Structure 1
């Protein structure tokens, strides 16, 4: 075939792609490359389309073939994207840095920021997200993920600024709705967090973390019975959460449900044999039940884990004084 025929095949592929007929477009791009292996445009479109279809290894091969002919921004960027979705973040970052040599766009900076975020380099992540936002002020994912990075850096005020900006773009953007609620809970602003947690659970009733946070908010606003119900809902989703069992046990104890509290706290201890807080809470429940020997065992176990625990030392000394 001639070079002109390859271009015709490529053009037909782009037309089919615009109509959403992906598999047909894929075939035309392959035919264009078969007819003219130097058709760089067909390589680029094929590489990105393979990525869209989650055929990432094939996508990388196509971009590598194109790069051997012409090192350019789309090919380095496309290869970086395929590596990113394969969770090969180190090589993905290398490809994005190569792409920067010949160009940039907001997506490049966003995905570089995401790699830094995943690796725990939150300051670099924020810098990348800010550059992406400077190129596109409506880049909602960059606003949200920038807020996540600030949260990890324990800069909750800036995190709220970023989440609010995301919600100004789309008030129903689920990640930012949840993140606003969670951040407000962490800041102790419980009443303010409720509308965001409510909205998250309206849209996703089995959102585990939102259920957990809602239980905490209700407990701290002295609605213990409702708090216990949310903790139980969360445990139906994931029972292997020692912290959640401990919280439930503590709430049950505060409601006078001592036998239920013993069961919950023992579940926490089954999951984590060294869970100091659960032993401490269980000891206090046993004290309330008048089971002093079992309470002492719990406080001694706390002191094995943490010899300086003041509450356990106090309770142990009190029990021993009573027995002397």
Structure 2
């Protein structure tokens, strides 16, 4: 038996249709929960159900996007159950990184055929767990504005929602103010960066609807992949922006790529951070670590 969590928030009734399609095509026992709100009672009901039926529950299947999966992992990972994903968001970056089929029936078949779950790393801050990429700067401001955008709903209705991330970058890039950044690694080494446009800390390669910002990141190597874009003019940044889509940006002189198990980040002003497309916190100081093999997945 599976717990199935269906994101029905903000008019995502298409997810209900995907659930109905899966149930009409495949035979499996499940208990559905509808994520039209995320208050504590919603999560507590799921926890209680899992505890009461501990010997029967095989895993937690999420029908939604990166944000839905992010909230489920932060709320339910302590149950020690494996997760599965039926991708149904505007970005689906984690699904892309893990080669999860976009067709709901095929994605569920893959979960049902799973004989042994795999263990993946998580990016950890003080209060959050992140599956894909944690970032601050131009990209984070874009991701956070997307969540409040009416354009996203319109593009989603035409199945091109991921393009909203690109549109939003161009909306805010002219008014964005770069910052200075200091990275301190656990070995004591420090790296200083000026005129920083963004810092991305990756567990997987993609964010923002398929942008491979951290192309070398692997979700089970026990390492954070850190990419910093710095010391470049706006005109040159715009000119070189397409290189990220073909994974050539890492070789540019104003892009630094580093790896570590843990890093402390200091900025000269409070900046907004996002993880998996969701708001994490605004801070000028943050310790980020990799928690190896701390979440199980049926993939």
Higher RCO structure, 1 or 2 (CA under 8 Å, sep 6+): 2
* Structure number with higher strand proportion: 2
Category of TM-score, reference length = shorter chain: under 0.3
Q: TM-score when scaled to structure 2?
A: 0.24
Q: TM-score when scaled to structure 1?
A: 0.22
Please tell me whether Structure 1 or Structure 2 has the larger radius of gyration of its CA atoms.
Answer: 1
